Amino acid sequence: MSEEYLMDYAAGTASEAVSLLVATHLALCPECRAKVADYERIGGAMLEDSRPADLPDAALAAMLARLDEVPSEAPADAPVKAPAVEFDDHTRRTLPEPLRSYIGCNLDTAPWRSVTKALQEIELPLGESGYRTRLYRIKGGQAMPNHTHGGNEMTLVLAGGFSDDTGHYERGDVSIADDELVHTPVADPGEDCICLAVTDAPLKLTGPIGRIVNLFMRY
């Protein structure tokens, strides 16, 4: 995975969508986990060497005054935490944490939406402006529609694998595409390819039919 994304994750500056993908990748990649640990140690050492900022004399009094405003009990309409899901073995093997908890259900009962005969998706409602986070399931041996990108796309393979013009990707691998790449990812035969994808701009379908579709929908 790109060093830039790992450093942003270690520094806590990555978006929630990118952080989710990176954290899921780290669960599958010991090498990148070690790199992030090194970046975090470097960041900690820099903080220890930095001079603390001076606070105004009234800062403590203001903070104590705010504590008096905190209600002693949660409001009656406070959200109730959903009960824990009993994940099956297939889901546990395929989806590492923290992604498993974000999905919140087993893969076989998940609300998959058919995009084409070969492609299904689940959109994760992260609520981040400018990002879309989706779980893809591509039928083994089949292809996604030929497309390019309005921005960047990060794709983490969770099961099976796929190939495109940039190479072959298997479980734990991350493909990073930009607006200069036009490709048709093809899933490996024999097993469905399940991927986590994060985009910061809509995909753009190519070809005569794709260009017509682009006029009516943003994917």
CB 22, CB 28: distance < 8 Å? no
Using alpha carbons only, give the angle 96, 102, 104 rounded to the nearest 5 degrees. 95
| The model's pTM | 0.77
The string of pLDDT tens digits covering residues 72-130 is 454 455 444 455 789 999 999 999 999 999 999 999 999 999 988 898 999 998 877 78
68, with CB counted inside 10 A (0-12, 13-18, 19+), is exposed
Instruction: Compute φ and ψ for 55, nearest 5 degrees.
Output: -105, 150
Which domains does the chain possess? 105-216 (2.60.120.10)
Q: Does 216 score more than 50 pLDDT?
A: no
Rounded distance between C-alpha atoms, residue 190 and residue 174, angstroms: 21
The string of pLDDT tens digits covering residues 155-198 is 999 999 999 888 999 999 999 888 777 878 899 999 999 999 99
Stretch 56-71: mean pLDDT: 60
Stretch 41-55: mean pLDDT: 65
